[in-house]
Amino acid sequence: MFTYDPPARIDDLPDPATRAIFLDDWHKWMSHTVHAEIQNLQSDPADNVPSPLFFSEVDRPAQKSDLPVTWNAFPLSVARQTASDPAKGWVWLDGLSESTRYSVDKNHLVKIKQRRQDEYCEWRRDDKGPRGPRYVFTAEGPEYWIMLAKHDLDRVTTLYQKYVSPDVRKEDLLLKNDIRFGEWILKKGSYDPFNTWNTEKGILHLTQGANTLGAEVNLAARATVLRSDMHGQRIVDARRLIGASGYGSINRSSDPNIGFGLNITAVPAGAVKPLSITLANPVGLYMSDIAEGRLTDANDQPLVGWFKFVRGQKGHGLMAVLEPPAGEKRTLDDVYVDGEKLQSGGQVATLIQMVVYAATADLGTPMSPLRPPAYRACAVAGTDLTNLAQTNLDVCDVTTSCGAFGHDMETPVELVDAYPEIFSEEAPAAIASTATRRLTRNA
């Protein structure tokens, strides 16, 4: 019988009885998450697909698996904004943000801290590593740790002590207030995914609001919807597709690539028969590899063995560290990235390739109908429409004018010139005069 395994098939529970209960709980949660997204494809007016191409291996086995969809770990939206001064982006990304989005009661807001890195890879400098200063990188979804703590909080504490700091105490990891996390209400006294050892003092798993396994499944499912342009032709461009569908963020490297990868794998351009598609087991967000040759010393010699996976493995990396190997006298001060002295983990992130894996099967599902755009791309007034690849955009519901949620709106400029094949004259996209709100799900 098919069961969903934890990311990278990681095994953190030494007690067989606890492990068995945890694995059953994990399978049930992942199965529920995938099936809920399949149902949403049929009921959500934005998608409205009678026979979704997205499927679960609980129902039918995959015939081809481990099909990689890749992207770069460095936040593309920040790279665009700081192209002329990359160091400015590194500094901003190394900071923390505050949020009240997890509050259960809007009248009693709960503030949490989280990282800003939004490509399903987060990092932090650790000046108290066992071999001196190091950089730690993670791609582990918070849901795994929340569920692990539910079954064995003492074990989670031990793992924090192993991977983060021996100074971690169990009471440091507990919530002081109830919070809402996706479908879950995490109660006061239970595991806090935003605890100080995973934010201010350390890093173990992902914290940025969009960096979750639930978001990955939502994105993958909704990306299987085929979209048409104003001429009735299928949209087969990564950024145009996400701009028309509204899954994830149009400005990331990850979401457009993941979505397009699944869309075009299920139905290659020109295909008359589709494949059903899903996220391969074990469902996870992974660091695949690093361009190690671009990590050098002052003499441009590669620093082999400095970057290594400590949870998961190459192709399915969950946690990695950049630190001197055992016996090495050099330190991070001797590290260069693309010829520049190492100043931030963000430089290293530009070398990391991320990956999710898809799986397909020929289940005889009929070809999905082409759905019109449910969202529209918007840009700030003055945007160079000839260079949109280097421009951060926004997305709003197709029934809403971009200018409707701008301020001090002048006569809107239509984005039809930028994406003419998507937007009909009846529903032109507009340029907002100020930065606009993100209305996409999971953004």
Quickly list DSSP for 66-97.
EEEEEEESS-HHHHHHTTT-HHHHHHHHTSEE
DSSP letter, residue 412: P
Q: Which alpha helices (H) appear in 361-427, and where do they start and end?
A: none
Q: What does the alpha-carbon distance between residue 261 and residue 280 come to, in Å, rounded to a whole number?
A: 13
Q: What does the alpha-carbon distance between residue 406 and residue 411 come to, in Å, rounded to a whole number?
A: 12
Q: Are 297 and 312 within 8 A, CB to CB?
A: no
- Please report where in the chains the tokens 């504490």 appear, as a residue: 157
**Based on the domain organization, do 290 and 395 belong to the same domain?**
no
Identify whether 441 is part of a domain: no
**Based on the domain organization, do 271 and 396 belong to the same domain?**
no
Q: Residue 108, CB half-sphere, CA atoms under 13 Å: how many?
A: 7
**Based on the domain organization, do 250 and 316 belong to the same domain?**
yes
**Based on the domain organization, do 160 and 235 belong to the same domain?**
yes
How distant, in Å, are the alpha carbons of 29, 219, 284, 336, 442 from that of 358?
19, 13, 11, 35, 20
Identify whether 443 is part of a domain: no
Q: Are 324 and 129 within 8 A, CB to CB?
A: no
Question: Residues of the chain whose pLDDT is less than 50?
Answer: 405-441
**Based on the domain organization, do 159 and 290 belong to the same domain?**
yes
**Based on the domain organization, do 119 and 130 belong to the same domain?**
yes
Amino acid at residue number 256: P
- The helix (H) or strand (E) run that includes residue 1 is none
Strand ranges across the sheet with 295-296: 295-296, 336-337, 340-341
**Based on the domain organization, do 330 and 409 belong to the same domain?**
no
**Based on the domain organization, do 218 and 291 belong to the same domain?**
yes
Q: Which domain holds residue 420?
A: 375-432
Identify whether 440 is part of a domain: no
Number of domains in the chain: 2
Amino acid at residue number 109: L
Identify whether 191 is part of a domain: yes
Q: Which residues contact 197 (CB under 8 A, 6 or more apart)?
A: 160, 164, 165, 168, 172, 173, 204
User: Does residue 125 come out as left (phi exceeding 0), alpha (psi in the -120 to 50 range) or beta?
Assistant: beta
Identify whether 364 is part of a domain: yes
Cα distance between the two ends of the chain: 35
Dihedral angle computed from the Cα positions of residues 63, 271, 258 and 235, in that order, rounded to the nearest 10 degrees:
-160
Q: What angle do CA 375, 270, 365 make, to 5 degrees?
A: 75
Select from 373, 396, 414 the last residue of a domain: 373
**Based on the domain organization, do 388 and 268 belong to the same domain?**
no
| The token pair that represents 283 in the structure block | 């469902």
Q: Are 416 and 428 within 8 A, CB to CB?
A: yes
Q: In terms of residues, how long is the chain?
A: 443
User: Does residue 380 come out as left (phi exceeding 0), alpha (psi in the -120 to 50 range) or beta?
Assistant: beta
**Based on the domain organization, do 274 and 403 belong to the same domain?**
no
Identify whether 138 is part of a domain: yes
**Based on the domain organization, do 191 and 284 belong to the same domain?**
yes
The SS3 of residue 327 is coil
Q: Which residues contact 3 (CB under 8 A, 6 or more apart)?
A: 23, 27
In this predicted structure, what is the pLDDT of residue 96? Answer: 97
In this predicted structure, what is the pLDDT of residue 372? Answer: 86
Dihedral sign for Cα atoms in the order 393, 395, 401, 407: negative
Identify whether 114 is part of a domain: yes
In this predicted structure, what is the pLDDT of residue 377? Answer: 76
DSSP letter, residue 300: S
pLDDT tens track for 44-94: 888 889 999 999 999 999 999 999 999 999 999 999 999 999 999 999 999
Q: Are 123 and 203 within 8 A, CB to CB?
A: yes
Identify whether 18 is part of a domain: yes
Q: What does the alpha-carbon distance between residue 259 and residue 266 come to, in Å, rounded to a whole number?
A: 11
pLDDT tens track for 347-390: 999 999 999 999 999 999 999 999 988 887 777 666 676 677 88
Dihedral sign for Cα atoms in the order 274, 279, 280, 286: positive
Q: Are 413 and 389 within 8 A, CB to CB?
A: no
What is the C-alpha radius of gyration for the chain, rounded to an integer number of angstroms? Answer: 22
Dihedral angle computed from the Cα positions of residues 175, 177, 180 and 185, in that order, rounded to the nearest 10 degrees:
80
The SS3 of residue 317 is strand
**Based on the domain organization, do 424 and 350 belong to the same domain?**
no
Select from 373, 392, 416 the last residue of a domain: 373
Amino acid at residue number 362: D
Select from 373, 391, 407 the last residue of a domain: 373
